[in-house]
């Protein structure tokens, strides 16, 4: 990915917890093993991570519990200092910023939603959402108006005057989301923001996210345990294991071209037909006669299932965004993907 387009860039980032992590800083490299670190009383929560996140990109971070997802996101917001490596945000070295510069960056550019909702207990839902606007020096009338609008957006209109203790876990989570939305951050860090929501509201919030993302070109780093959620939202997915990024790629490539056996195992239960687009299966036309209706390259096989089942041509044409035939798919291969290989 081109460097100039990246909003966040990590180079060989390590975050080591333990007795004396600072002493290790100069010695950490790609060959440093977990055993070595453990022997000296340390644990690497983030191991040698290098990645670039582009403007407007939604990167979803996945991995088992303890794989380092939250620690990585906390490093990106510099809520914690890294042990070695470098992180730049819009070209500025995060590690070199003063406390004042950091506060300013977080207030103006960054929004965060974490698993623990972090609401202020003695403030109402409305006051919680308006709080970051108050910190920014916004006048009372406009911040109350904005906070009400955001509470409506997350379905909490009418509960403005409730205190956090009077709200359910899912409602508190929605207040947290509304609060971070209120400041319209350019960069958004979300650590399992929807984990406490029931499925219907969760889906509504995902739709809302996709809408906001399309409208505002926000750069988003999003942690989830839910692969379906990742597939709906992600431009790219990073799979973490033991603090390292095993693969960072499009959902389609993560599922169809796993870089390691671990990624293959991690994604083994994913329904490929929901991920793979017709364009990814397309073969060159190369002299075949292709006529009749074509399948749009950007639709998933799942969406096209009925058409593929009903179309008895052995080779079905696929059309690109301009409507022109861009290739053909082998119907038998598409059916294998949809139904599993024939017995």
* 213, two tokens: 């993302």
How many residues bind to ligand ATP according to rule CB under 6 A? 11
327 binds ligand ATP (CB under 6 A): no
195 binds ligand ATP (CB under 6 A): no
What CA–CA distance (Å, rounded) separates 37 from 271?
38
For the bound state, the minimum distance from the C-beta of residue 265 to ligand ATP, rounded and expressed in Å, comes to 17
Site string for ligand ATP, 220-259 (x = CB under 6 A): ----------------------------------------
Residue closer to ligand ATP (CB basis): 61 or 294: 61
Residue closer to ligand ATP (CB basis): 69 or 213: 69
262 binds ligand ATP (CB under 6 A): no
Stretch 24-43 residues interacting with ligand ATP (CB under 6 A): 43
DSSP string, 159-224: -TT--GGGS-HHHHHHHHHHHHHHT--SEEEEESTTTTS-HHHHHHHHHHHHHHHHHH--EEEEE-
Sign of the alpha-carbon torsion through 35, 37, 43, 45: negative
What DSSP element (H or E) covers 145? helix 140-153
What CA–CA distance (Å, rounded) separates 98 from 175?
30
Residue closer to ligand ATP (CB basis): 116 or 289: 116
Residue closer to ligand ATP (CB basis): 269 or 343: 269
Stretch 60-89 residues interacting with ligand ATP (CB under 6 A): 63, 65-71
For the bound state, the minimum distance from the C-beta of residue 68 to ligand ATP, rounded and expressed in Å, comes to 4
* 64, two tokens: 């088992």
Residue ranges of the alpha helices (H) in 192-330?
199-216, 227-233, 251-256, 261-266, 278-281, 301-310
- Contact residues toward ligand ATP (CB under 6 A) are 17, 43, 45, 63, 65-71
């Amino acid at each position: 990915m081109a460097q100039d387009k990246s909003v966040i860039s990590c180079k060989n980032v390590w975050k080591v917890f333990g007795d004396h992590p600072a002493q290790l800083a100069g010695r950490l490299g790609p060959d440093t093993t977990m055993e070595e670190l453990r022997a000296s009383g340390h644990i690497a929560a983030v191991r040698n991570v290098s990645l670039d996140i582009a403007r407007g990109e939604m990167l979803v971070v996945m991995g088992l519990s303890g794989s380092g997802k939250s620690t990585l996101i906390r490093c990106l917001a510099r809520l914690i200092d890294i042990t070695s490596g470098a992180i730049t945000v819009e070209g500025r070295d995060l590690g070199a910023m003063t406390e004042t510069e950091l506060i300013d960056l977080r207030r103006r550019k960054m929004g965060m939603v974490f698993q623990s909702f972090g609401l202020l207990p003695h403030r109402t839902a409305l006051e919680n959402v308006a709080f970051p606007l108050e910190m920014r020096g916004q006048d009372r009338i406009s911040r109350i108006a904005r906070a009400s609008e955001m509470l409506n957006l997350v379905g909490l209109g009418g509960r403005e005057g409730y205190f956090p203790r009077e709200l359910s876990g899912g409602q508190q989570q929605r207040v947290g989301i509304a609060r971070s939305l209120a400041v319209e951050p350019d960069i958004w860090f979300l650590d399992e923001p929807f984990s406490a929501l029931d499925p219907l509201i969760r889906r509504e919030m995902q739709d809302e996210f996709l809408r906001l993302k399309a409208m505002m070109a926000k750069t988003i780093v999003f942690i989830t345990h839910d692969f379906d959620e990742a597939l709906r939202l992600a431009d790219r997915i990073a799979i973490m294991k033991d603090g390292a990024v095993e693969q960072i790629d499009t959902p389609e490539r993560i599922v169809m071209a796993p870089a390691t056996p671990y990624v293959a195992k991690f994604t083994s239960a994913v329904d490929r037909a929901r991920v793979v687009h017709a364009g990814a299966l397309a073969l060159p036309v190369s002299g075949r006669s292709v006529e009749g209706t074509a399948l749009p390259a950007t639709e998933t096989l799942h969406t096209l299932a009925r058409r593929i089942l009903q179309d008895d041509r052995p080779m079905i044409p696929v059309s690109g965004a301009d409507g022109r035939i861009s290739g053909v798919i082998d119907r038998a291969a598409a059916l294998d993907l949809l139904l599993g290989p024939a017995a």
